[in-house]
Structure 1
Amino acid sequence: MRALHTAATGMAAQELNVQVISNNIANLRTTGFKKQTAAFQDLIYEHVRRVGAQSSDQGTILPVGVDIGGGVKTVGTPRSMTQGTLSQTGNDLDLAISGDGFFKILMPDGTYQYTRDGTFQMDNQGRVVTAQGNLLQPTITIPQNASGLTINAQGQVSVTLPGQTASTNIGQIGLTRFINKAGLMPIGDNLFQETPASGQPQDGTANTDGYGDMQQSNLEQANIDVVSEMSDLIAAQRAYEMNAKVISAADQMMQSTSNGAVPLR
């Protein structure tokens, strides 16, 4: 019976939907995390009677047809790149982006990855790095015994050197943006990788040309609405249960047909 296969595709789709929602909820407190949603499309149809077909020699046209659907398929898990809420931390090297940009990170293999996670630290050489020890680009090195670290909205880094009263500019943190942010590929560790869908990275200066500005001593929270996620989870669960009931009903119908069949002589 066709309904068994159709309902099975519905159960598989809702299982994936629950996986996506569970990942969103699991990353509720992940800095810079961007939520995903599951997107679905209907499968190919069997056209038993095609709408618009000629139904008589006089040219009568069928106003409606008989189309039997094959179920549902998952076509993607698009990521929402909307702005998350900024939260103050009090740490001088914590940075949040208010706008469209990404921090550019140099990986050990010489490639670049991109992140919205501004939880930065200093390594043993005074360089600004991520939690995994990868260098923020351009490389910023904070002199030993420097104090009064400030990072303005444009990303200019200033410190007060020993024996001086005026602050000294020691570098500028840049930002990178993409034509299609949703086309970036997540690779874990709060990092994204460019793809043909995202377009080429465009390096620039914060607080100019739509790159967004930097907020020192702040971090961007995940852009997740807990109430919405819980509502979606309940809806996915109910859809899964209804598809399971369709399979049960189809099985009972097949059983009734089998039990009521006339034995061959």
Structure 2
Amino acid sequence: MRALYTAATGMKAQEKSVEVISNNVANMRTTGFKRQMIHFQDLLYDHQRRAGAPTSDQNTQAPAGVFVGSGTRVVATPRIMSQGNITQTERTYDLAIRGEGFFRVQMPDGRTAYARDGGFETDAQGRIVTKEGYLVDPGITIPQDATSVAINQQGQVSALLPGNAQPQLLGQISLARFINKTGLESIGDNLYLETAGSGPAIEGTPGGEGFGNLQQGYLEESNVNAVTEIAAMIQAQRAYELNSKIITGADQMLSSTAQMYRA
């Protein structure tokens, strides 16, 4: 019976929906995390009678056809790249992007990754790095004797050095943005990679045209909304239950049919 297989695709799709929701909820406290949503698409149809098919010898036509679908499938789980709340941490190397853009991160294998998580540290050489120790690109080194390190909204890093009355410029943090940022590939560690779907990275400086500015001593929170996720979870659960009931109903119909044959 076709209904068994159709309902099974619905249960499988809702199972995937719950997995996406659970990942969103698990990352509610993850810095810079962007929630995902799920998109479904109906499967192939059995065209038992097409619209416009002749219905008599007098050239009458069927105004509507008979199309029986075969279920649904998951086609995409795009990220919602909306701005998360900005919270104060008062840590020198914590940076939040207010607006468009991603930090550029140099991976150990030479690839460039991108991040909204600006929870940075300095390593043993004084270089600004991520919590995993990956170098923030372009590399900026803070001298050991530097004091009062400041990062302005345009990404300029400066500090007071011995023998200088005025802060000295140490480097410039740059950002990248994408035509289709939902096309970025998530690789974990709050990092993304450029893909053919995202388009090439467009580099620029904070506060420049099309780019947000930086906030020193702040971090961007996850954009996951607990109420939204709970509502989505309830919808997924109900849809799963309905599909399971269809399977139960189809099974009962097959059982009745089998009993009729035995009789």
Quote the offset at 1:51 in angstroms.
1.2
Deviates more, 1:54-63 or 1:80-89: 54-63
- What corresponds to 1:118 in structure 2? 118
CA–CA separation in structure 2 for the residues paired with 1:5 and 1:22: 26
- What corresponds to 1:90 in structure 2? 90
CA–CA separation in structure 2 for the residues paired with 1:64 and 1:3: 22
CA–CA separation in structure 1 for the residues paired with 2:213 and 2:229: 29
- What corresponds to 1:65 in structure 2? 65
- What corresponds to 1:48 in structure 2? 48
SS where residue 261 of structure 2 aligns? coil
Quote the offset at 1:163 in angstroms.
3.6
CA–CA separation in structure 2 for the residues paired with 1:10 and 1:162: 67
Quote the offset at 1:195 in angstroms.
0.4
SS where residue 74 of structure 1 aligns? strand
CA–CA separation in structure 2 for the residues paired with 1:60 and 1:86: 65
- What corresponds to 1:138 in structure 2? 138
Residue type of the partner of 2:30? T
Give the TM-score normalised by structure 1.
Answer: 0.97
CA–CA separation in structure 1 for the residues paired with 2:200 and 2:38: 26
CA–CA separation in structure 2 for the residues paired with 1:110 and 1:74: 33
CA–CA separation in structure 2 for the residues paired with 1:152 and 1:118: 14
- What corresponds to 1:157 in structure 2? 157
- What corresponds to 2:212 in structure 1? 212
Residue type of the partner of 2:82? T
- What corresponds to 2:37 in structure 1? 37
| Count of equivalent residues | 263
Give the TM-score normalised by structure 2.
Answer: 0.98
Superposed, 1:151-230 pairs within 5 Å as 151-230=151-230
SS where residue 113 of structure 1 aligns? strand
Residue type of the partner of 1:177? R
Gaps of 5+ in 1: none
Quote the offset at 1:61 in angstroms.
1.3
SS where residue 59 of structure 2 aligns? coil
CA–CA separation in structure 2 for the residues paired with 1:46 and 1:111: 47
Residue type of the partner of 2:76? G
Residue type of the partner of 1:95? L
Residue type of the partner of 1:123? D
SS where residue 260 of structure 1 aligns? helix
Quote the offset at 1:53 in angstroms.
1.3
Provide runs of 4+ in structure 1 moved above 6 Å.
none
Gaps of 5+ in 2: none
- What corresponds to 1:9 in structure 2? 9
Residue type of the partner of 1:19? E
CA–CA separation in structure 1 for the residues paired with 2:36 and 2:83: 14
Residue identity (%): 55
- What corresponds to 2:103 in structure 1? 103
Quote the offset at 1:262 in angstroms.
5.0
